[in-house]
Each structure stands twice: as structure tokens, then as C-alpha cells.
Structure 1
Amino acid sequence: MATAAPLSSARAWQPRRLLATPSALGWDHGRQVAERVAALGIEVVELPSDRIKLDLPDDPRRAYAEAKNTLALVVASPAKRRLQPIAPSADWRVDLAEGCPAHCSYCYLAGSLKGPPITRVYANLPEIMEELPRHLGQGKVTSRSRARAHEGTTYEASCYTDPLALEHLTGSLSALIGYMGDWDADAQLRFTTKFADVSPLLGLRHGGRVRMRASINPPRFARFEGGTSRVADRLRALRRMADAGYKVGLTIAPIIAAGGWEVAYAGLIADAAAALNDVPDLDLTVELITHRFTPGSKAVLDSWYPGSSLEMDPAARSEKRTKFGSIKHVYDANTMKALRSFFEQEISRALPDARILYWT
């Protein structure tokens, strides 16, 4: 695999248009989002009904491009607001949006979300936040874990989106962080990101109840993460957040076992250690996620990124059955063992105070 040219820093995402539903504009937060977007010079289309209908081209690549350039402002239904367990990351998943503006060749949302890949942001933020106290102490990942009980009840905000990528358009992440800062509870908000503009978050009163994780990969593999911030910028942003008193973390994902991976990932871990060097009272976690795919996600990704050189050959992988009976293609047992041993040793050496939360 050839080494890519240095990545340039990504500018803030500018969708071509915002489709706003009547119900969404009935919420104060929805109107504020529409005003923020309009102030950036982006067209705001007020729809006649709550139905989002796109007249997309028949060509998959053109349809993908048009959908990815569309932002929709909608109301999260009761089903969307209902918190779901999200092991091994956190007790509960809380969604501020659905969809992501990045162009990652391995995108996990490709196999999870139905329909064109437009990004939907939720206007009814107060209703979303009302769900959090109802689940306090009820989770099974950190709430009842000896190893992670000190984190309290954890809420993951980046399962179906990258909330920082949308923050300049929505302000939703800042609002949720402010909520956590004011909530005197044994709880923690978590989010992970491939973006670097943390300026809106630095002055917020977070109460020590928020953990930001930078999703990182060596530059040679980060070339599969189109439209995102440079890895070096993500690490600088993580340092800024740590200096602002936030808990922080590294999400090394997806770990790609291509030729020379040992050197590439050793360099990445060393860069992370340098970025976080001498942070007072650093609270650092690490999450390790290997590359995998499903038959469904592979089919979607092949249509979105037909020229990608990312390896997704089922014949080169082992099959793993999920608890729902579906198939995932993962690295074989020997490769997984070698990867895990390497990362555990390298992190222990370079980041001795970090806690590895899980390996998958």
C-alpha cells in the first residue's frame, strides 16, 4: 500500500442545502439551527410536510454525492429518542443526529442506516435530554462494572454521527455538554470525533462529566478518511480539551493490518504520547477497534467508493456471527492475537497511565 501525500486540514463542512421540516421549525432549537445555517450562506428549504424526499440521480456515485451534501433538520421520533445499550463503549446511546459528512471508505454507518446517506440533525433537543435521567444507574457497561464503575452511567453521543463535525451548524453538542455540566449526577457524556475544531467547547462548564476521544489512524491509513481533519490536528485538539479540564481518550479505529502496520501504529502512539505530554492530572482512555465489515456494508461501500484500495476481501477474513445471527468479516485469530499483543505492549510503554477500555 503506497504512502499517501500529507493530508490537508479539513475546513468546516458546508452542505449545499438544509431541508427543514415544519415540525422541526416548531422547536426553538430547530429555529436556531436554521438561523445558524442561513447565516453561513447555505440555502434553507422549508418543506411543506415532515416527509424528506430526495429526487436523486440513478447513478449511485452521483446519488451518493448529492445525498452527502444535504442536511435535514427533523424531529427525532419517540423510537429515535429511546436510549439503547451500546456495549462495549457505554451504557446508553444518545443521538443528536444521524449521518456524517465525512467520506470514510470503511464507514460503519453504511451497513447500519437505511436510505440515502443524508445527515439528519434533531430539533427536539429538550426531549432528547429528558431521556438521560430516566436511565441513570440502569446500564450494564459502566454502571455495573467494577473496572469502570467510577465513570458512572455513561452516554455515548457518537454512535450514528460525529457530533463535532456538525457543531458549527447545530450547537447541539455544546448544549448537551452544558446540560451535563449542570447535572449533579454520577454520569458521563462521551463522544468521539475525526474533527478538530473544539473552540466552541473549550469554555463550557462541563463539570468533569464529559470525555472527548479523538478517533485516529496513522496518516497512511487516514487517507481512507476523506473530508476529515488531519490526525495531527485531532491530537492537538485533544490536548486543548485536556488542558480545558475535559476527560480525554484515543479511539484507534479501525485498526488495519496491512503491510508495515507495526511501524505505522508505533509512530501513531508515539505522536499521541507527545501531544499529551505533561498534561496535569491527565485522565486518558484508549479504545481499540479492528477493521471489520459485513456483506451488506461491503456492497454499499463498493458502490460509494469503487476506486478504494482498502482491503475488504471476504476470502482473506474469518467469519464471525453476531448475537443477531448476522455475519461480520474479521481478521483471523492469529492476526487478532498479534495486533492485540502489540497494542497492549506499545500503549503500556508509551502511555503508561492510559486505561485500555476494550479490544474488539
Structure 2
Amino acid sequence: MWTPKRVLVTRSAAERPHGQRILARLDTAGVQDVELLRGDRLPNLRGEGDRAAFMAAKDTMAVVVGAPSQRKLQPIPPSADWRFDLAQGCPAHCQYCYLAGSLSGPPITRVFADLDEVLTDLDGYVGRGAVTSGTAERGGEGTTFEASCYTDPLAIEHLTGGLATAIAHFGTHGWAGPVQLRATTKFDDVAGLLDLPHGGRTRLRFSVNAQSVARRFEGATSPVAGRLAALRAVAAAGYPVGVTVAPIMPVEGWRQEYADLLDGIRAAAGDADLTVECITHRFTPGSKATLTDWYPRTRLEMDEEARTTKRGKFGSVKHVYPKETMAELRSWFERAVADRLPGARLLYWT
């Protein structure tokens, strides 16, 4: 489990109940370098832009209070109606990390100490979503809240307890309508979640991939076999579960590798309430520049000439697999999921 080499705690964060709980966990975990700041501004953490500065940032955790703008939730299609953040940043070293194109500044992990207030605010969003709530395809999920858009919450759970706090809140709170908390992870330490009063209102999903992809590109994460064992454990504890197969890559022998993965998922999930989300690999010019700076020896394929360029409505550029490749991948996965996971629901393909 990750132990940060340096922790910075802002004054307002240290005053919050969740911030105090985090400080107690840091002490229990034996984290040595915990600095209580006099104010709410973090020091300059950019360093010199070299490899050492990057590693120092990845080894740093900051406990902060989120900006007021973060309290106004945004939809996060195709995953959920709304996104709220337990943290931003992740200690893992995935060489395709999409956070490289989503978060600016040094890659420290920022944990939000105002979690209790954020959870209280969620009441105002129940029944107002458009991704799952009120839709014909996914209306049974209720109003959904994604807690792992910008972090892997299980990677830092032993230091923060934030995921357990959110799960217990969703499971015991008197909501105005059906709700679901959603979180996904590449880690397997779920022991602290098994006995929580989740009430079936949290879907824990595990991000999994072909063995060759996971071994080559997913540094400092739990092995896929460990993630599937964790899926089995939380399913046995009554949680609805899911797998996020991402990012899908047409590597050599991909059909057999992904078939083996789906068979492993079937063995782990049994007859649990299981969903599947499929996300193909893509990158932006900005994320490629950042990732090649972070991981200069990466062998991840990011060749613009071998991709199709998609443009967003505001001019954003994204490089995805060519139409023929995407069609082949999608057709194979839709058939394979139906054959190998007949009781699962395939939520989306992207």
C-alpha cells in the first residue's frame, strides 16, 4: 500500500472533521513527514520539471478543502449522473493515465477534507440526472454519483477512509429517491469495506485488462488476479459489482487474452449483480506530451498516424482507433460479453 513521503495539510483542512480523521490515519500508518500549513495555499510543488520532480510529486499527498466551484456537481457521461471528488490524483503509475490530460500542475494526490459537507449537499441532486436517472436503459440505477473520476479511491483508502465514509452515508442516509454510489479501482485491499452498512447502494467496480497490458503499463497497482479476488469478496458481502475493461488495446493475441479475462471475471462474480463498461484506448496531444515526459521509456502506442482524430464541439482533439478497428473490437466484445457473462449488463462502449 502506498505510503507518501510527504504530506501537506492546509489549515482549513486540519479543522474539518474528515481532515482530523485523515491525520489520525496518517499517524497510524506511520507517515513521518506531515506538515501542517499556516494557511490554505500549498507551496510551489512544480520543481524543475525533471524526472526527480515528477517522482517527488507522485510521492506527495496534500489534504485540502475543495474550491467552492467543486461543490457544484457536473454530469459525467457515460458513467453517472453526477461526479463528486474524494480526491484528485493517484499514486499509481499507469503509463496511459488519462489524468495526464485532465489535471494540471504537478501530479500530487489532493485529498478533500470537506467530505462531510459534500455528502450533505448531494441531497439536492437526487432525481435531477440525465445519464441514468429517469432513462429507459439505466433508470433502475437511480441517481448515480461517480466518486472515482479523478482518483482511485481504494489506492488511498488506508490513509483517508473517505470511500468507507461515503459508502456508509449512501447506505444509511434517508434519500428522497433511489441512488447509487459508483467507484472503480485497480487495487484489492477491500477488507475495510466488507462489513459496512452499504445497503446495496454502492457499486464497486474493478478496472481490469488483458494480462500483457496490465503487466506492461499499470505500475504500482494490484495484479489483475488480486482485483478479481477483491471483486469476489465484495460481491459476497452483498455489493453490486462491476468491471471496467479499460483501456482496451488490440495487442497481439488480444482475442484470447480478453477471452481469458472475461472467463476470470465470470469465475469471480458468480451470480452477483454485475455490470461491464468497455473503454478503448485514446489520447490527446496534451496527454501524450505529458505521458512521454512522465514515462520517457514507455512502449505505449501513441502514433497519431495510426489513429483517427475526433474533434469535440469546442475544438478539442482526441486520437482514437480507426473506424475499422473500433468496429472489430466492439463486435467481438459485445459477443464475448454476452457469451461469457450472460448475466451481466454491458452499460456502454466507448
TM class by smaller structure: over 0.9
Which residue number in structure 2 is paired with residue 36 of structure 1?
A: 25
Which residue number in structure 2 is paired with residue 158 of structure 1?
A: 148
* Partner SS state of residue 95, structure 1: coil
- 325, 329, 338: which one pairs with 1:348? 338
Which residue number in structure 1 is paired with residue 92 of structure 2?
A: 102
* Partner SS state of residue 8, structure 2: strand
Which residue number in structure 1 is paired with residue 195 of structure 2?
A: 203
Alignment partner of 1:188 is 2:176 = no
Alignment partner of 1:78 is 2:68 = yes
Mapping 1:211-230, distance limit 5 Å: 211-223=203-215, 224-230=217-223
C-alpha displacement of 1:321: 1.0
Which residue number in structure 1 is paired with residue 277 of structure 2?
A: 287
Q: Distance in 2 between matches of 1:214 and 1:226?
A: 16
Q: Distance in 1 between matches of 2:200 and 2:91?
A: 29
Alignment partner of 1:16 is 2:9 = no
Q: Distance in 2 between matches of 1:76 and 1:325?
A: 28
- One-letter amino acid of the structure 2 residue matched with residue 254 of structure 1: P
Greater mean alpha carbon deviation, residues 28-37 or residues 209-218: 28-37
- 244, 263, 273: which one pairs with 1:270? 263
Which residue number in structure 2 is paired with residue 359 of structure 1?
A: 349
- One-letter amino acid of the structure 2 residue matched with residue 61 of structure 1: R
C-alpha displacement of 1:55: 4.8
- One-letter amino acid of the structure 1 residue matched with residue 245 of structure 2: I
Q: Distance in 1 between matches of 2:245 and 2:313?
A: 24
C-alpha displacement of 1:59: 4.4
Which residue number in structure 2 is paired with residue 169 of structure 1?
A: 159
Q: Deviations over 1:108-133 (max 9, x none)?
A: 00001010000000111111112211
Which residue number in structure 2 is paired with residue 238 of structure 1?
A: 231
- One-letter amino acid of the structure 2 residue matched with residue 114 of structure 1: S
Q: Distance in 2 between matches of 1:139 and 1:340?
A: 27
Q: Which runs of 4+ in 1 moved over 4 A?
A: none
Q: Deviations over 1:303-359 (max 9, x none)?
A: 000101110111110000123320000000000000001101111111001000000
- 215, 230, 243: which one pairs with 1:250? 243
- 26, 30, 33: which one pairs with 2:15? 26
Give yes or no for contact 1:81–1:95 (8 Å, CA) kept in 2: no
* Partner SS state of residue 345, structure 1: helix
Unaligned runs of 5+ in 2: none
C-alpha displacement of 1:47: 1.2
Q: Deviations over 1:236-283 (max 9, x none)?
A: 001101000000001000001122111111111111111223x4xx21
C-alpha displacement of 1:94: 1.0
RMSD: 1.0
C-alpha displacement of 1:38: 2.0
TM-score (normalizing by structure 2): 0.97
* Partner SS state of residue 161, structure 1: coil
Give yes or no for contact 2:46–2:105 (8 Å, CA) kept in 1: no
Unaligned runs of 5+ in 1: 1-11
C-alpha displacement of 1:57: 3.9
Aligned residues: 346
